[in-house]
Structure 1
Amino acid sequence: MALRPHALLPRRYDHRRVLATTVDAWGRALWLICPDAELRPRSYGSPDPCPRTLPYDALLVTDDGGTIRERTLRGLDLRVVHLDALPNGRLVVEGYGGGDDRNARVYGMDGRRRGAFAMGRAVEFLMADRQHHVWSAYFDEGVYVDPVSAPGLVRWDSGGNRLWGYAPEQGVEYIDTVYALNVDDGVAWANYYPTFPLIEVRTDGAVRLRGTPVVAPRGMAVHGDHVTMLGGDRQPDRLHLCRLTDTEALPVEEACLTLPNGAPLKGYARPVGRGRHLYLHGSSPRQWYVLRA
């Protein structure tokens, strides 16, 4: 099975660094670009693009079905790691370096800051839906040391007010690290270490836990009574189609995911799951691909 091209950052931005990128709940690709950024080495992985000074102005580039739009965000005081679009033209960003524990910002349509709140440490995923819900998922470096991050999966309203945090039933493992997250309107699906169950969390308060046959998936797409998981079992290009019952995700078939030209799918960043769509990019954040499950 092959990915399809979804969005490509135009070449006129090639000389600028991409701080963060995602595909939002409307299927639009977002890139946050800093005109004055440099690559800084990390303790692991490739160098990280960082603004040279704080605060700074950043350019938000949006690809909406081939239509490119720009917006300037004024006075950013974070080294942004995650971003997502909110209803009414707003934007939420998360990062570090702001001088206190309020590591999330909400920006208005005019590109100016409308609020700030503490989202917690070690955010692995930040995703919003079209109904004013924001979901944050965490890895172990936050779960064990930060009370905000401790649930592993948290839901906020679009103003930064905490509405819900995961609390497993007795006998069920707590979240150590969320490996895969899918957010659709009014529902989030997560898979987490150490036991890798599939959690279905609805904004009406309903929570369901299912056993899965896949260990450590990288991403997933949910479609009706089926879920397609990508990666896991040390096979990053393997797709696992499973049928959902009340208690389990039962394996149906497997396939190999490739690039659009049939080339092998090698390294890629954390995928973005939006309902039945799974978006991912490789070493370059400029090209997004999509799998429609």
Structure 2
Amino acid sequence: MALRSHALLPRQYDHQKVLATTVDAWGRALWLICPNAELQPSSFGRAYPQPRTRPYDALLVINSGGTVREQLLRGVSLRVTRLDALPNGRLVLEGSGDAREHNAQIYGPDGRRRRSFAMGRAVEYLMADRRHHVWSAYFDEGVYIDPISAAGLVRWDSGGNQQWGYTPPEGIEYIDTVYAFNVDDGVAWASYYPTFPLLEARTDGQIRLRRTPVVAPAGMAVHEKQIVMLGGNRQPDRLHRCRMTEHEALLIEEACLTLPNGAPLKRYARPIGRGRHLYLRGTSLRQWYVMGI
């Protein structure tokens, strides 16, 4: 199965430093650019862009079906690593700042900050839906030391107020690290270490866990009773198509996912699951691909 091209950052931004990128709940590709940034070396591999001064003005580039527009964000004080769009033209940012406890910010449609709040440490995923829900999922470096991150999966309203945190049923392992994540309107899906159950968490309070045949998946797309999990089982390009029952996800078939030209999918960044769609990018921050079920 081949990916399709979804969105590309236009060439006029090639010289700009991209702080963060995602695909939002409306299928729009977002890139946050800091004109006043320089590359900093990292002990984890690739250099990352660091704003030279803070606060700074950042440029949000939005690609919606090939139509590109810009929005200026004023007075950003975070080194942003994650972002997502909220309803009514708002935006939520997450990153590191001068005050560690306030690592998330909400911006209005006018590009001005509305609120700063604590989202917890070691955020692995930040995703919002179209119904004013924001989900944050965490990895172990936050789960074991931060009271917010300790739940492993937290839901907020679109004003930054915490509404819910995951507590596993009796006899089920807690979240150490969320590996794969998918958010649709009113529901989040997660596969997490150490036992990799499929967690279905709905905003009405319903929780369901299912067994799956996939260990350590990288991403997933979900539609009705179907779920396609990418990676896992030490096969990063393998798709596992499953049918969900009440207690488990049953493997139906497997396939190999490739780039649009049929080339092998060797390396990719953390996929973004939005309901029936799974969005991926390679090592470049500028190109998004998509597959759907």
TM-score (norm 1): 0.99
Aligned 1:154-169 pairs, distance under 5 A: 154-169=154-169
The answer to which of 37-46 and 128-137 deviates more is 37-46
Using the alignment, how far apart are the partners of 1:157 and 1:99 within structure 2?
Answer: 22
Name the amino acid aligned to 1:265.
L
Using the alignment, how far apart are the partners of 1:277 and 1:100 within structure 2?
Answer: 34
Aligned 1:101-250 pairs, distance under 5 A: 101-250=101-250
What count of residue pairs does the alignment treat as equivalent?
293
Compute the displacement of 1:121 (Å): 0.1
CA shift digits 1:23-79 (9 cap, x unpaired) = 000000000001011111222121111111111110000001111010010010000
Using the alignment, how far apart are the partners of 1:287 and 1:119 within structure 2?
Answer: 28
Given the alignment of the two structures, is residue 78 of structure 1 paired with residue 78 of structure 2, yes or no? yes
Compute the displacement of 1:99 (Å): 2.1
Q: Gapped runs of 5+ residues in structure 2? A: none
SS across alignment from 2:58: strand
Question: Where does residue 262 of structure 2 map in the other structure?
Answer: 262
Using the alignment, how far apart are the partners of 1:145 and 1:230 within structure 2?
Answer: 30
SS across alignment from 2:115: strand
Which stretches of structure 1, 4 residues or more, deviate above 2 A after TM superposition? none
Name the amino acid aligned to 2:254.
E
Question: Where does residue 34 of structure 1 map in the other structure?
Answer: 34
Compute the displacement of 1:100 (Å): 3.8
Question: Where does residue 61 of structure 1 map in the other structure?
Answer: 61
Question: Where does residue 98 of structure 2 map in the other structure?
Answer: 98
Question: Where does residue 88 of structure 2 map in the other structure?
Answer: 88
SS across alignment from 1:264: coil
SS across alignment from 2:45: coil
Using the alignment, how far apart are the partners of 1:25 and 1:275 within structure 2?
Answer: 9
Question: Where does residue 16 of structure 2 map in the other structure?
Answer: 16
Compute the displacement of 1:229 (Å): 0.3
Name the amino acid aligned to 1:60.
L
SS across alignment from 1:235: coil
Using the alignment, how far apart are the partners of 1:98 and 1:204 within structure 2?
Answer: 36
Using the alignment, how far apart are the partners of 2:162 and 2:245 within structure 1?
Answer: 31
CA RMSD across the alignment: 0.6
CA shift digits 1:166-225 (9 cap, x unpaired) = 000111000000001000000000000000000000000000000111010000000110
Using the alignment, how far apart are the partners of 2:88 and 2:263 within structure 1?
Answer: 39
State, as a whole percentage, how many aligned pairs show the same letter.
Answer: 75
Compute the displacement of 1:246 (Å): 0.4
Question: Where does residue 286 of structure 1 map in the other structure?
Answer: 286
Question: Where does residue 25 of structure 1 map in the other structure?
Answer: 25
Compute the displacement of 1:140 (Å): 0.1
Compute the displacement of 1:238 (Å): 0.4
Name the amino acid aligned to 1:220.
M
Q: Gapped runs of 5+ residues in structure 1? A: none
Using the alignment, how far apart are the partners of 1:140 and 1:277 within structure 2?
Answer: 27
